[in-house]
């Protein structure tokens, strides 16, 4: 009797896992740039200075983590060929609070785009992607 219950439980868990859509998240190649310049004059002497910096800010692992937290009814997969959906999420750094900096696109298994949007936060981008995937 115990083996039968264990087998039924295993089959039920397997069926639940198969019911979850698989999502492949593309590599994020996000960039950030910042810089500034200042000049002044004091005691008859003038001076100026400036600088800038920038570089890649890959966030693919952070996006995957956020999907796991905010969209538990999907399975994030590293295997693109087994995915039901492909999510492209690009984060643009270095913008102020009021500018949208997360570009989002979701494609179904046939390669058709089913969502394209911009959001201010990563969490909202994942929430929108999750909503369209689960419908």
Is 74 domain-assigned?
yes
Q: Is residue 64 part of a domain?
A: yes
Question: What's the number of domains the chain is made of?
Answer: 1
Q: Which domain holds residue 65?
A: 22-28+57-135
State the first-to-last Cα distance of the chain, in angstroms, to the nearest integer. 39
73 assigned to some structural domain: yes
Domain CATH for 77: 3.30.160
How far, in Å, are 57, 67, 84 from residue 92 at the CA level?
A: 9, 19, 26
Mean pLDDT, consecutive 10-residue stretches, the chain (135 aa), reads 53 58 82 53 60 57 90 94 94 58 92 94 92 91
Residue 91 domain flag: yes
- Which pLDDT score is estimated for 122? 87
CB-CB neighbours of 7 under 10 Å: 10
Residue 100: inside a domain? yes
Q: What is d(CA 100, CA 6) in angstroms, rounded to the nearest whole number?
A: 50
CA 26 – CA 55 distance, rounded (Å): 19
At residue 62, the pLDDT reads 86
pTM of the model: 0.64
Looking at the domain assignment, is residue 105 inside a domain? yes
């Amino acid at each position: 009797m115990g083996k039968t219950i264990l087998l039924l439980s295993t089959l039920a868990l397997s069926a639940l896992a198969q019911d979850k859509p698989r999502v492949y998240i593309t590599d994020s190649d996000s960039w950030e740039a910042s810089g500034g310049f200042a000049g002044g004059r004091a005691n008859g002497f003038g001076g100026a200075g400036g600088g800038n910096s920038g570089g890649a800010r890959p966030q693919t692992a952070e996006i995957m983590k956020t999907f796991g937290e905010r969209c538990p009814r999907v399975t994030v997969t590293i295997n693109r060929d087994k995915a039901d959906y492909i999510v492209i999420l690009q984060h643009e750094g270095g913008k102020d609070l009021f500018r949208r900096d997360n570009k989002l696109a979701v494609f179904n298994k046939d390669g058709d785009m089913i969502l394209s949007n911009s959001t201010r936060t990563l969490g909202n981008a994942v929430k929108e992607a999750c909503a369209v995937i689960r419908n």
